[in-house]
Structure 1
Amino acid sequence: MKKNAFLKKLLPFAKYLGPHKKVLIISMILSFMSTALGIVQPLFTKVIIDKVLIGHDYQFLFVLLGALVALLLISFLTRVGNNYIYTKYSSRILFKMREDLFDHIHRLPLTYFSKKKIGDIYSRIASDISNIQALITDTIPICLYDIITCIITIAILLWLNWKMALLSFLFLPVGMKILLFIRSGIIKLSEELAESNAEIAHFLVESVGGSTVIRSLGAEKLECNKLREKHSRLLKILLRYQVLGGVSGSIPTLYKVVNTIILFGYGGVLVMKGLLSIGDLVAFSMYQGRIFGYLQGLMGSYLDIQKSKVSISRVNEIIEVKPVNQSGGDIFIPVESIRGEIIFDHVQFDYEEDEGLFADLSFTIPSGKITAIVGPSGVGKSTICFLMMGLIRQNSGVIMLDGIDITRIETECLRNAIAFVPQDVFLFHTTILENLMFSTPDATKSEVVEACKAACIHEFIESLPNKYDTIVGDRGIRLSGGQKQRIGIARAILSNPKILILDEATAFLDASCERRLKDTIRRMMKGRTVIIISHRLSAIQDVEKIISIKEGRVVFEGSPICFFNNKDHEILSYFPLKQECDQSFIIPRRHNSPITKFELKAFGSNGNNVGDGKQ
């Protein structure tokens, strides 16, 4: 039953052999040729001893030596050619498997990454996939060759002297029983070994990525101690694994010792009685030694298969996660015809069951306007952005772009219409120019420069020694938070979106730079939809509509005037209101004085207040 389960898990990976059938067949033929040439060599030794040295047929000696040299040369060339072919097709299989897994990971729900360690995922892509590739292109074929050659060698041993051969096989059942006894321990330790290595990989990735924080806190020694403890645990597992591996590996050695006693004890007696020739004894000894090698190979293959079982399970855990539907719908909307109105209609979403992040979320983001989404930390403002872009799917309800359900719109079309700039802008370890052109590789240099000028980052880039060819470092570590944000905004502007989402994208900018940037965005995005998410009043002073979210529902939707003159002070509790806000932003009025129609018209809003219908 367990064997069938293993084969069932392995079967999906067999498809990678399909495109390489011809090369695989050629490689197998060359391997069998090389094996066959190796099998006949001891028979040449037998003939040389019995017919040439003892039989004094010296003329036949040169013929045999010539044939032996030819066989060795053919065997050498066959092995070299096969190694080249094997490396070529096995590498392609490995790369294809890794590429497919990599593609699958990029289509997984974002919630998957919040639950898994990045180092563990990396370990599965790198180490576990490599183990599976080695299993199907290396371990299984070698195991097959070892079994076939072992059977042929056993047949030759029986042909040379069946009694002595049977005596030498008596220990085999004992060795197999020992192997089966330690099997469960090897499997368990293989799992622990894989998990421990994955944990260390994650720790290293996380620790190196957080090097600045670690140094600022003076925690270098603490991190080194953590790594030392993890290595200590790994060493204990390795030692236990090596003990069991050593026991399984010593079985062939014990078999060889027993067979040597049989060979020179029983075989020597037969030679002295004239019942066995010296050539037969030497050939028997050589074949018997090869049995030892084949058994060692089979033992090693057995251990590799146990490791691979763990790797297959770990990779299948990822493959079995259902990816997000990336194809989207079949409706194509030309980007230039998109207006940018977004409607959430009774949307329900949660990352975990029974969590209920959004129970019934409904609001409208008008097209061609600047809208702010505000609310306490952790209320789900960034999640709303992910839902808009189709990066995650709602559990129920409808999200519409220009009146069309986004699930019916082609994903590429949807993504091309929206540009998203988060607070923590991710930059790749390459040049500033390549980071800017990441999603628009066909952009011209002048377009890049214009986008950078709009994002108020061009002058800084030009001040660098290598200008736009400056390497930013891993995740942009050589740049400040504000510089990374401006590069992220420039990258978004370069994509010429119909909808621009700024999720705390100006949090690290000084007031002067923020003002210039807001003026530029307002000018360049005129007639387009801009969505601003922020906790700072300075970031939302010029917006035309505010949507306030609290506890999974909309508590306010309307104009800034209505928002900041709202009687419900709880709505404003997450803003440092009076200190930060420009006083001209709040329109002074007497207590309970009504808002005029002129004021509402000036802000382009109907002043609908979900939190207070009287306002």
Structure 2
Amino acid sequence: MRPYADNDYPAHHKPDWKVIAGLWPYLAEYRGRVAMAVLLLVTAKLATVATPVALKYIVDYLDATRPEQMIMWIPVALVVVYGLLRFGSTLFSEMRDAVFARVAERAMRRVSLRVFRHLHQLELSFHLDRKTGGLARDIERGTNGISFLLRFTLFNIVPTILEIVLVSAILLWAFSPGYVLAILVAVVVYVVFSIQVTEWRTRYVREANARDNQSNSRAVDSLLNYETVKYFNNEDFEARQYDEDLAEWEQARLRNRLSLAALNTGQALIIGVALIVIMAMAVREVASGAITLGDFTMINAYLIQLFIPLNALGFVYREIRQALVNVERLFGLLNEPPLVTDAEDAEPLEVRKGEVRFENVHFAYQAARPILHGVSFEIPAGHKVAVVGASGAGKSTLARLLFRFFDVDDGRIVIDGQDIRSVTQDSLREAIGVVPQDTVLFNDTLYRNLAYGRPGATEEEVHRAAKLAHLEQFIESLPDGYQTPVGERGLKLSGGEKQRVAIARVFLKNPPILILDEATSSLDTVSEQVILEALREVSEQRTTLVIAHRLSTVQDADTILVMADGRIVERGDHQQLLAVDGRYAELWNRQQKSGEAESSPDQED
């Protein structure tokens, strides 16, 4: 059982601030750039802090010097210094961003690739439980959150703290401690208020994210099942369901906005009160002659200079809090341990003959519902073994276990004497070709979908595979030929055409072991005969496991296994099983009488 589904992240769960420490590996790749960016950051901040000092001397010189005594080059020089400090602050900040840009973008690239690879390593059950739309949103928000955390933690929080320290030191050195005390009190109150209120409103951020995932998942799921929606005239129903999700999202966003307004108002009040208190202190000291007009100007400039980034600090904290929520979800995906993994000493599978054996295999998707009970059989090298039986008997589970979508609970599966759990998954799956019941294609050209069987194949090899799968005549009839788009999930092709694409892929992959999982169950009789001919060709000289409902499609199998309730109850060839007059004969006679060799597709076994 996975800890969190798409929309059930607990509202009371607080993100772990250690997530920020987890970003260090992405910074470590460019240590030099990070160090240079930090150096430029400090330089920019020093220029920023020095600017009010230059302004003070300009004002004091102009205020204290009579026009007839004024030496013009002095204020001009001070103005030039002031302007250069202003320019230097901006220049060094932009240089800092330019130097750090590669670091942030590369980090997003690295983590996106890492998540993508990890998701492909997770077992089938994880993806069956997930909603694709919500998962895509988690990845998108998480990668953007990483970029935000890298940039703003380093370039907003750190420099703001540095500026507070520098300004406090200057004010303490040049003026009375009262200014520093007032600023520190304001900063502490501001930070505490921001943290407390942001913690309070985080529930609304999480709720808005969850509702966003929910509505997006609904939209994606509905559009992927476009035909089903049309079959049942359920466009209005889908729209109502989507609108209900959007209404929940709207309410969550509204609560989020209102709580944000409360936070902004409180922060503005704290800054306003602090400005009134500190400026009143400065006005009193100017009036008493304790400080100069230039000092007053410098204090005012420092307050503006300090509270602007402090105000930004409030925004940054809120955004960091939200980014942490998003990055935590992303890292949560990375922390999902694959349930099917390679053994530490796993070696590549060596296929010498291609003999497959199931030895006393027990398996259950859920402990309370066992599927297989001590299943044992052998597929000799180059032979075809078919498995038939009613829905729920456990037929498709055999194919999933052989391909290691799941691991057996007890017993073992061996290929040429090698337990498939002791070999690498890559080498195992490289040795097995699958023609599934429902072939799903990528939304790309027909050629690219064919070439997916072996992406490095030459154009000649792809064309040959299409010919062997009896696709050549169909492709020639298309105006765009191999460049014809197949549409989302291959919806522009018929069931038979998609199955032939799957067969062509297997020809191109050229594996020694083949699994045919209900490969003709959804086809009409005419299409079935064409596909069967192609399947016979692709299975020649290959060790083949056939999962079938239509018994007429497996008459040529060397051995037929009849399954019931997760056990093999009969075995033999077609004629032997008919002679026994048992379950197989009963199924055969029933299908012959009904005029079809098909039952409902097996989805659960």
Check the 8 A contact 2:379/2:544 in 1, yes or no. Answer: no
Is 1:543 the counterpart of 2:553? The answer is no
Q: Tell me the SS of whatever aligns to 1:350.
A: strand
What CA distance in whole angstroms lies between the structure 2 residues aligned with 1:574 and 1:318? 48
Is 1:398 the counterpart of 2:412? The answer is yes
CA shift for structure 1 position 582: 9.2
Q: Tell me the SS of whatever aligns to 1:346.
A: strand
Is 1:60 the counterpart of 2:70? The answer is no
Q: Tell me the SS of whatever aligns to 1:547.
A: strand
2:393 maps to 379
Q: Tell me the SS of whatever aligns to 1:88.
A: helix
Q: Tell me the SS of whatever aligns to 1:246.
A: helix
1:503 maps to 517
What CA distance in whole angstroms lies between the structure 2 residues aligned with 1:575 and 1:206? 40
What CA distance in whole angstroms lies between the structure 2 residues aligned with 1:489 and 1:135? 47
Is 1:559 the counterpart of 2:573? The answer is yes
Aligned residue type for 1:272:
A
Instruction: Please point out which of 483, 486, 490 is paired with 1:469.
Output: 483
CA shift for structure 1 position 139: 3.0
Instruction: Please point out which of 297, 317, 338 is paired with 2:312.
Output: 297
Compare 227-236 and 39-48 and name the one that shifted more.
Answer: 227-236
Aligned residue type for 2:114:
D
Q: Tell me the SS of whatever aligns to 1:456.
A: coil
Aligned residue type for 1:518:
L
Aligned residue type for 1:121:
L
1:164-206 alpha-carbon deviations (Å, 9 max, x no partner): 4434555455445533542442232232222222222322221
Gaps of 5+ in 2: 1-11, 598-605
Q: Within 5 A, what are the aligned runs for 1:458-497?
A: 458-497=472-511
Kindly tell me: are residues 572 and 24 of structure 1, through their superposed partners in 2, closer, same or farther at Cα, counting changes over 3 Å?
A: farther
Aligned residue type for 1:436:
L
1:559-586 alpha-carbon deviations (Å, 9 max, x no partner): 1123334443488459852136699xxx
Kindly tell me: are residues 272 and 137 of structure 1, through their superposed partners in 2, closer, same or farther at Cα, counting changes over 3 Å?
A: closer
Given the two structures, how large is their TM-score scaled by the length of structure 2? Answer: 0.88
Aligned residue type for 1:280:
D
1:109 maps to 123
Instruction: Please point out which of 224, 231, 248 is paired with 1:216.
Output: 231
What CA distance in whole angstroms lies between the structure 1 residues aligned with 2:187 and 2:456? 67
Instruction: Please point out which of 172, 175, 194 is paired with 2:209.
Output: 194
1:120 maps to 134
Is 1:364 the counterpart of 2:378? The answer is yes
Q: Tell me the SS of whatever aligns to 1:356.
A: strand
Kindly tell me: are residues 296 and 26 of structure 1, through their superposed partners in 2, closer, same or farther at Cα, counting changes over 3 Å?
A: same
Q: Within 5 A, what are the aligned runs for 1:279-358?
A: 279-323=294-338, 324-326=340-342, 330-332=346-348, 335=351, 337=352, 339-358=353-372
Instruction: Please point out which of 425, 431, 442 is paired with 1:428.
Output: 442
Aligned residue type for 2:440:
F
Q: Tell me the SS of whatever aligns to 1:423.
A: coil
What CA distance in whole angstroms lies between the structure 1 residues aligned with 2:355 and 2:270? 78
Given the two structures, how large is their TM-score scaled by the length of structure 1? Answer: 0.87
Compare 95-104 and 548-557 and name the one that shifted more.
Answer: 548-557
What CA distance in whole angstroms lies between the structure 1 residues aligned with 2:27 and 2:165? 27
1:36 maps to 46
Check the 8 A contact 2:342/2:423 in 1, yes or no. Answer: no
Gaps of 5+ in 1: 584-615
What CA distance in whole angstroms lies between the structure 2 residues aligned with 1:563 and 1:320? 50
CA shift for structure 1 position 399: 0.2
Check the 8 A contact 1:107/1:326 in 2, yes or no. Answer: no
2:31 maps to 21
What CA distance in whole angstroms lies between the structure 2 residues aligned with 1:511 and 1:470? 26
Q: Tell me the SS of whatever aligns to 2:122.
A: coil
Kindly tell me: are residues 176 and 521 of structure 1, through their superposed partners in 2, closer, same or farther at Cα, counting changes over 3 Å?
A: closer
What CA distance in whole angstroms lies between the structure 2 residues aligned with 1:458 and 1:61? 86
Kindly tell me: are residues 29 and 290 of structure 1, through their superposed partners in 2, closer, same or farther at Cα, counting changes over 3 Å?
A: same
Compare 20-29 and 518-527 and name the one that shifted more.
Answer: 518-527
What CA distance in whole angstroms lies between the structure 2 residues aligned with 1:552 and 1:8? 47
What CA distance in whole angstroms lies between the structure 1 residues aligned with 2:404 and 2:299? 71
What CA distance in whole angstroms lies between the structure 1 residues aligned with 2:42 and 2:393? 66
Is 1:440 the counterpart of 2:491? The answer is no
1:1-30 alpha-carbon deviations (Å, 9 max, x no partner): x99993445444322221111111111111
1:50-79 alpha-carbon deviations (Å, 9 max, x no partner): 113542543212111222333333333323
1:161 maps to 175
What CA distance in whole angstroms lies between the structure 2 residues aligned with 1:3 and 1:581? 59
Aligned residue type for 1:69:
G
Q: Percent identity, aligned pairs only?
A: 27
What CA distance in whole angstroms lies between the structure 2 residues aligned with 1:370 and 1:499? 10
Number of paired residues?
580
